[in-house]
Amino acid sequence: MRENERQTLATQNPFLPAVTVVLSQMRALEWSFPFLHTLLALVALVVVFLILTALIPTVGLLLQLSELLNKLADDAYQLMKGASGPTGVGFAVSFGILFLLTTPFMLMAAPFLLSAAIARKISSWLSAGRQSD
DSSP structure string for 57-68: IIIIHHHHHHHH
Rg (CA), the chain: 21
- pLDDT for position 115: 80
Q: How much of the chain exceeds pLDDT 70, in percent?
A: 86
pLDDT at 130 over 70: no
Task: Please give the model's pTM, rounded to 2 decimal places.
Answer: 0.49
- Phi, psi angles (nearest 5°) of residue 120: -65, -40
Q: 5 or 111: whose pLDDT is higher? A: 111
Q: Which residues of 102-117 are buried (b: 16+ CB within 10 A; e: fewer)?
A: beebbeebeebeeeee
Q: What mean pLDDT do residues 43-57 have?
A: 86
Q: What mean pLDDT do residues 71-91 have?
A: 77
- pLDDT for position 27: 93
